[in-house]
Structure 1
Amino acid sequence: MSKNRLSGEFPRFGPESNLELSSNEFSGAIPSYFGSAISMLLMSDNNFSGEFPQNFRNLSNLIRLDLHDNKISGDFASLTSLLPSSLEVLSLRNNSLKGSIPEGISNLTRLQVLDLSENNLDGYLPSSIGNLACLIMSPESSSSVMRPWLLFFTDEESFREIKTQDIFSFAVNWKKSRQVLFHRNFYLYTLVDLSMNKLQGEIPASLGNLRSLNVLNLSNNEFSGSIPQSFGDLDKLESLDLSHNNLSGEIPKTLSKLRKLVRGGFPP
Structure 2
Amino acid sequence: MAPSPDFSFIDKTITGPIPPFICDLKNLTAIDLQNNYILGPFPTALYNCTKLEHLDLSQNLFVGCIPGDVDWLSTHLRTFNLSDNNFTCDILAAIGQFPELTTLRIFLNEFNNFFPPKIGKLSRLEMLAPSDNAFALMAILSTFTLLRKLKQLLIKDSSLISEIPETIGNLAELEELDLSNNNLTGATPNDLFMLKNLRIVDLSKNHLSGPIPQPIEAVKMEVIDLSKNNLTRTIPDDFGTLTELSHLSLFSNQLSGEIPESISRLPSLTYVRLPSNNVSGTLPPDLGQYSIL
Instruction: Give your verdict on TM over 0.5.
Output: yes
Can you list the C-alpha shifts for 1:17-76, whole angstroms capped at 9, x where unaligned? 211111000011113213121111011000112232011111011111111101234222
**Whole-angstrom distance in 2 between the partners of 1:265 and 1:69:** 27
**Whole-angstrom distance in 2 between the partners of 1:39 and 1:80:** 14
Relative to total residues, which structure has the larger strand share, 1 or 2? 1
Match of 2:149 in 1: 86
What is the one-letter code of the residue matched to 1:21? L
Question: Percent same amino acid among aligned pairs?
Answer: 36
Structure 1 residue 5, shift from structure 2 partner: 1.1
Match of 2:173 in 1: 110
Pick the aligned partner of 2:272 from 245, 265, 268: 265
Match of 2:89 in 1: 28
Match of 2:242 in 1: 234
Q: Is the 1:77–1:100 contact (alpha carbons within 8 Å) kept by the matching residues of 2?
A: no
Q: Is the 2:223–2:246 contact (alpha carbons within 8 Å) kept by the matching residues of 1?
A: yes
Q: Is the 1:23–1:43 contact (alpha carbons within 8 Å) kept by the matching residues of 2?
A: yes
- Alignment of structure 1 residues 138-157 onto 2, 5 Å: none
- Alignment of structure 1 residues 1-268 onto 2, 5 Å: 1-11=57-67, 12=70, 13-17=73-77, 18-34=79-95, 35-72=98-135, 73-76=137-140, 78-81=142-145, 83-135=146-198, 190-206=199-215, 208-262=216-270, 264-268=271-275
Q: Is the 2:179–2:204 contact (alpha carbons within 8 Å) kept by the matching residues of 1?
A: yes
Can you list the C-alpha shifts for 1:158-217, whole angstroms capped at 9, x where unaligned? xxxxxxxxxxxxxxxxxxxxxxxxxxxxxxxx21000000000111122x2111011000
Q: Is the 2:122–2:147 contact (alpha carbons within 8 Å) kept by the matching residues of 1?
A: yes
1:209 aligned counterpart, secondary structure = coil
Structure 1 residue 79, shift from structure 2 partner: 4.8
**Whole-angstrom distance in 2 between the partners of 1:233 and 1:123:** 26
**Whole-angstrom distance in 2 between the partners of 1:252 and 1:33:** 50
Aligned length: 211
Q: Is the 2:93–2:118 contact (alpha carbons within 8 Å) kept by the matching residues of 1?
A: yes
Name the structure, 1 or 2, with higher relative contact order (CA <8 Å, separation 6+). 1
RMSD of the alignment, in Å?
A: 1.5
Structure 1 residue 131, shift from structure 2 partner: 2.3
Structure 1 residue 77, shift from structure 2 partner: 5.2
1:225 aligned counterpart, secondary structure = coil
TM normalised by structure 1 equals 0.75
**Whole-angstrom distance in 2 between the partners of 1:38 and 1:76:** 21
What is the one-letter code of the residue matched to 1:27? T
What is the one-letter code of the residue matched to 1:239? H
1:36 aligned counterpart, secondary structure = coil
Q: Is the 2:66–2:89 contact (alpha carbons within 8 Å) kept by the matching residues of 1?
A: no
Q: Is the 2:120–2:144 contact (alpha carbons within 8 Å) kept by the matching residues of 1?
A: no
Match of 2:49 in 1: none
Structure 1 residue 101, shift from structure 2 partner: 1.5
Larger radius of gyration: 2
- What are the ranges of 5 or more consecutive residues in structure 1 without an aligned counterpart? 136-189
1:106 aligned counterpart, secondary structure = helix
Q: Is the 1:224–1:247 contact (alpha carbons within 8 Å) kept by the matching residues of 2?
A: yes
- What are the ranges of 5 or more consecutive residues in structure 2 without an aligned counterpart? 1-56, 276-293
**Whole-angstrom distance in 2 between the partners of 1:70 and 1:129:** 25
Structure 1 residue 128, shift from structure 2 partner: 1.1
Structure 1 residue 246, shift from structure 2 partner: 0.9
